[in-house]
DNA sequence: GGGGGCTATGGGGGG
DNA sequence: CATAGCCCCC
């Protein structure tokens, strides 16, 4: 491909970035540290492709969030103008859904297929478990769903699952030997319902390409001559397999570019595997690799802290991010006595920083490990009158009233959608109770037909008969309306005919009015969707504005995709959803053992490593100010829990912390009860060193040795416990060390994997 | 059989 | 603290 060096945007890039952007053909791998201009490289590379003659419609750029795709498109547009609209940029799920909307009939699905969200999936699984007379305590739907999801992500069919000794042995060990049967029934039920779950959007896409009906594979291989994958470390096996197929075209070189950072791989729980990066080099031996290591986001103390933390992970691609920025502000550490005090002190600090550094609300983010932690901060921010916005948790489309109307719409588009039917057959109340619904479901199962078909064919003698007739009448009327009207008019008709609008209007409470507003706003959204005249690449005019297309689109939306990001609000979100974002001031909260790292991740070293990468992601969101907080005690399950401060706090070298805040750093749980029950005000300022041995080690002189070098009999120094003697080391690398300075309990069990110990005498 | 209210139980991260 | 399941009344 011809390259003209006269493109001005190339001057905005450093050397490595420019090399990556101009490497247009063949396989390319970009390892991009946080804040290293990854998005810039991706977007300029696409712009450069277009400027060098590539057809924008032949470029496929796969991301993990709609937001990332949207931002990418906007930035490409700034360089190449409206040609950017022709680029296939979107999430794996949304682009594959768009393709399947055209092609699904070739693999036994209706093109108007329904997308089951995880609640729908769980509902199906619950029904199956019930029908198999299994105990749902033994087979929790959520966990069964994860197993099925993992199987799908690894291209394991129900048959292959049953034949896989490892999987079956694991299930037997967990006393859930019948998961393979549930999986088989689940897959069959989804097909019968004309429904795909999130994994199916990938799996069915794979099947489409693999089975290649009507040479559809060549069609898309020809279509996508340039394939790009963002956040490649988050792809699972199935996604990578699809990408590989798409990137292949006859005998020409494969133009595939992946961008990722192994240190930011945080989605193994949904099947992402770091192996894909290693495998990529194997699959494409002629790959050119570029490492972006200069960080343009954060000041030096923050970058240092990130580097220090990540060295605790053994398995990493070697790289060290650096910045040419100033040292900046040191990291603040806040110790709170309780979770609500944590909320207060974070709010205080926000006010203080706003004043002192002239920051706006939107410059702040509070990042937590679990969404349930948001409540505390909400309460306090509201009390302080600080505007905030919560991401994650309940999204707009998971609200009850929205799901109710959406379920009616789903029924109208696809009457085989049993999950939707079950949701609305008795809402608003029309006297069709659980036992009747169970009956219908049973008959549908026995005859392998949909519940809607049962309603049409069965003679109901019970007194539910009249009510059922009412329901089928409503749905039929709505279906008739949908044939002639556009999606918006149909939806308004459905909202009225179903009785939903009437039901909500009769509720005059404040919450009731809110629900009505939400439904109105959903209808407005459909109107906007219908009136939007822009046709995305690959979309057919006839189907693009259909109700089915609308439903498929919204089922892949998260509340991050809502407008309103430009408002001046503090951002509250999980660390997971903060990936890719940056803020002037970041609070990483709840830094306690069993919370961050999560108690569910305390089992294997690999899981701890992933938590550490998550922490790495969290702290590298900060541009100028980073504050880490933890609480002595917090409410969990309605009762108080005490956790030690997170190990991650200690993994950052002391010199990066604000010394005024580090005085309070290490409380002494378990060994002293004096910290409980004290007045809250004192709690913040009381130094715990009184209860600890006086250890006079200047952190500057402390150089920890590698854990492998620690041997029995050595005298070592520990920053907190002082000098000690190593008594023993067991096979798990846990050392027993006696520290004479600790009076009551001098022998400590130290995990060498995490401990920092300096050898003073062999 | 259906509806409403009460009690017990269980909660990671996300497309 | 939200939801499912259970019990009791209609």
Average pLDDT value for residue range A40-61: 95
Q: Would you call A611 a catalytic residue per the annotation? A: no
When pLDDT is cut at 50, 70 and 90, the band that residue A60 belongs to is very high
Q: Of the listed A18, A38, A185, A416, which one is catalytic? A: A38
Is A219 one of the catalytic residues?
no
Structure tokens given for A227: 């394939």
Question: What pLDDT does A681 receive?
Answer: 24
Position A294 confidence tier, pLDDT thresholds 50, 70, 90: very high
DSSP bridge pairs for A116: A197
Backbone angles phi, psi at A236, to 5 degrees: -100, 175
Of residues A400, A442, A440, the one with CA closest to residue A423: A400
Q: What is the mean pLDDT of residues A198-208?
A: 97
Q: Give distance CA A175 / C1' B9 (Å).
A: 21
Band of residue A664 on the pLDDT scale cut at 50, 70, 90: low
Residue A148's pLDDT band (cuts 50, 70, 90): very high
Q: Pick out the nucleotide with least CA–C1' distance to A637.
A: B11
Structure confidence at residue A731 as a pLDDT band (50, 70, 90):
low
* Per-residue flag: A638 CB under 7 A of strand B: yes
Burial (0-12, 13-18, 19+ Cβ within 10 Å), A568 = exposed
Give the confidence band of A641 by pLDDT, cuts at 50, 70, 90: confident
**Which tokens in the block code for residue A636?**
């969990």
Q: Is the CB of A371 under 7 A from strand B?
A: yes
Q: Tell me the average pLDDT across A325-351.
A: 94
As a whole number of angstroms, the distance between CA A720 and CA A3 comes to 59
- If pLDDT is split at 50, 70 and 90, which confidence band does A688 have? very low
Between CA A563 and C1' C3 the distance (Å) reads 31
Angle, CA of A584, A588 and A590, to the nearest 5°: 160
Q: What is the pTM of this model?
A: 0.84
Peptide bond before residue A428 is cis, with ω within 30 degrees of 0: yes
**Cβ-based burial of A142 (10 A; exposed 0-12, middle 13-18, buried ≥19):** exposed
In sequence order, what are the residues at sequence separation of 6 or more whose Cβ sits closer than 8 angstroms to the Cβ of residue A740? A722, A723, A724, A746
Where residue A567 falls among pLDDT bands split at 50, 70, 90? confident
Distance CA A429, CA A470 (A): 12
**What is the spatial distance, in angstroms and rounded to an integer, between the CA atom of A514 and the C1' atom of B7?**
29
Active site residue A264: yes
Please tell me the predicted confidence (pLDDT) of residue A34: 96
Q: Are A572 and A388 in contact (CB under 8 A)?
A: yes
Encode pLDDT of A92-118 as tens digits. Answer: 999 999 999 999 999 999 999 999 998
Range A204-224 average pLDDT:
96
- H helix intervals, A672-716: 680-685
CA of A170 to C1' of B7 (A): 35
Residues whose CB is less than 8 angstroms from the CB of residue A587 and which lie 6 or more positions away in sequence, other chains included: A346, A349, A350, A364, A365, A366, A367, A627, A628, A629
Q: Which nucleotide is nearest to A638 (CA to C1')?
A: C1
- For residue A622, pLDDT over 80 is answered with yes
Q: Is the CB of A115 under 7 A from strand B?
A: no
A142 Cβ within 7 A of any nucleic strand B atom: yes
pLDDT beyond 50 at A670: no
* Per-residue pLDDT, A513: 84
* Residue A682 phi, psi dihedral angles, 5° rounding: -65, -35
Percent helix, percent strand, percent coil in chain A, to nearest 5 = 50, 15, 35
State residue A743's pLDDT score. Answer: 65
Whether A461 is catalytic is: no
Q: Which carries the bigger pLDDT value, residue A494 or residue A393?
A: A494
Q: Protein A19 CA to nucleic acid B5 C1', in Å?
A: 68
**Would the Cβ of A261 be found within 7 angstroms of any atom in strand B?**
no
Query: How far, CA to CA in Å, does A169 sit from each of A146, A175, A610?
Result: 17, 10, 26
What is the DSSP secondary structure assignment for residue A459, as one 8-state letter? P
At residue A170's C-alpha, the angle toward residues A167 and A172, to 5°, is 110
| Cβ contact A149 with chain B strand, < 7 A | yes
Find the mean pLDDT for residues A23-28.
95
Find the nucleotide nearest A93 (Cα to C1′): B15
Residue A341 near residue A683, CB atoms below 8 Å: yes
Q: Give the integer Cα–Cα distance in Å for A226 and A56.
A: 9
pLDDT of residue A700: 60
Distance CA A399, CA A421 (A): 17
Statement: residue A72 has pLDDT above 90? yes
Confidence tier at A412 by pLDDT (50, 70, 90): very high
pLDDT at residue A4 above 70? no
Neighbouring-strand partners of residue A28: A257, A288
A207 as an active site residue: the answer is no
**Distance from C-alpha of A379 to C-alpha of A383, rounded to nearest angstrom:** 6
């Amino acid at each position: 491909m011809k390259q003209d060096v006269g493109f001005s945007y190339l001057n905005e890039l450093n050397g490595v970035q420019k090399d990556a952007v101009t490497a247009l053909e063949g396989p390319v791998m970009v390892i991009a540290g946080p804040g290293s201009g990854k998005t810039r490289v991706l977007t300029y590379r696409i712009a450069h492709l277009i400027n060098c003659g590539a057809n924008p419609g032949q470029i496929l750029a796969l991301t993990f969030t709609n937001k990332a795709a949207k931002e990418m498109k906007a930035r490409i547009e700034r360089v190449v103008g409206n040609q950017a609209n022709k680029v296939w940029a979107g999430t794996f799920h949304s682009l594959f859904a768009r393709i399947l909307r055209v092609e699904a009939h070739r693999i036994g699905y209706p093109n108007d297929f329904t997308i089951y969200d995880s609640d729908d999936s769980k509902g199906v699984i619950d029904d199956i478990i019930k029908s198999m007379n299994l105990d749902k305590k033994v087979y929790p739907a959520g966990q069964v769903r994860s197993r099925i999801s993992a199987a799908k992500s690894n291209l394991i069919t129900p048959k292959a699952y049953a034949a896989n000794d490892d999987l079956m042995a694991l299930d037997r060990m967990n006393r859930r030997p019948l998961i393979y049967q549930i999986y088989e029934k689940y897959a069959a039920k989804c097909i019968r319902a004309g429904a795909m779950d999130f994994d199916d959007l990938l799996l069915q896409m794979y099947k489409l390409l693999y089975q290649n009906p009507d040479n559809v594979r060549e069609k898309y291989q020809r279509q996508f001559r340039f394939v790009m994958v963002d956040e490649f470390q988050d792809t699972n096996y199935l996604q990578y397999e699809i990408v590989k197929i798409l990137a292949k075209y006859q005998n020409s070189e494969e133009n595939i570019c992946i961008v990722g950072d192994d240190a930011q791989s945080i989605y193994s729980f949904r099947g992402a595997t770091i192996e894909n990066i290693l495998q990529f080099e194997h699959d494409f031996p002629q790959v050119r690799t570029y490492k972006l290591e200069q960080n343009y986001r954060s000041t030096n103390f923050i970058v240092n802290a990130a580097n220090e933390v990540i060295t605790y992970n053994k398995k990493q691609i070697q790289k060290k991010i650096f910045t040419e920025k100033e040292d900046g502000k040191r990291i603040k550490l806040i110790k709170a006595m309780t979770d609500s005090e944590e909320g207060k002190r974070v709010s205080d600090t926000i006010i203080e920083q706003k004043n002192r550094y002239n920051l706006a609300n939107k410059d702040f983010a509070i990042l937590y490990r679990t969404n349930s932690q948001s409540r505390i901060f909400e309460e306090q921010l509201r009390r302080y009158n600080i505007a905030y916005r919560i991401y994650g948790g309940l999204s707009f489309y998971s609200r009850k009233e929205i799901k109710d109307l959406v379920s009616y719409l789903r029924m109208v588009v696809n009457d085989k959608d049993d999950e939707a039917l079950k949701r609305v057959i008795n809402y608003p109340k029309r006297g069709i109770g659980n036992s009747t619904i169970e009956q219908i479901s049973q008959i549908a199962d026995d005859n392998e037909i949909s519940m809607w078909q049962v309603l049409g064919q069965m003679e109901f003698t019970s007194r539910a008969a009249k009510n059922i007739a009412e329901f089928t009448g409503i749905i039929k009327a709505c279906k008739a309306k949908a044939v002639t009207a556009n999606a918006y008019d149909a939806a308004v008709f459905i909202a009225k005919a179903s009785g939903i609008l009437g039901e909500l209007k009769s509720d005059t409470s404040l919450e009731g009015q809110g629900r009505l507003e939400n439904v109105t706003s959903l209808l407005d959204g459909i109107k906007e969707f219908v009136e939007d005249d822009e046709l995305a690449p690959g979309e057919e005019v006839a189907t693009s504005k259909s109700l089915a297309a609308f439903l498929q689109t919204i089922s892949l939306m998260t509340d991050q995709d809502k407008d309103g990001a430009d408002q001046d609000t503090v951002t509250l979100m999980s660390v997971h959803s903060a990936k890719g974002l940056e803020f002037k001031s970041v609070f990483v909260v709840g830094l306690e053992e069993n919370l961050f790292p999560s108690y569910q991740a305390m089992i294997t070293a690999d899981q701890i490593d992933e938590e550490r990468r998550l922490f790495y992601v969290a702290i590298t969101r900060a541009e100028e100010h980073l504050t880490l907080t933890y609480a002595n005690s917090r409410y969990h399950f309605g009762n108080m829990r005490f956790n030690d401060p997170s190990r991650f706090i200690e993994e950052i070298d002391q010199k990066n912390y604000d010394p005024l805040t580090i005085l309070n750093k290490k409380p002494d749980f378990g060994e002293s009860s004096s910290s409980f029950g004290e007045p809250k005000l004192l709690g913040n300022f009381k130094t715990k060193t009184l209860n600890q041995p006086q250890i006079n080690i200047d952190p500057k002189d402390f150089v920890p040795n590698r854990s492998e070098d620690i041997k029995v009999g050595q005298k070592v120094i520990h920053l907190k416990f002082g000098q000690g003697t190593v008594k023993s080391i067991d096979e798990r690398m846990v050392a027993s060390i006696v520290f004479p300075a600790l009076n009551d309990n001098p022998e400590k069990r130290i995990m060498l994997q995490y401990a920092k110990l300096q050898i003073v005498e062999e």
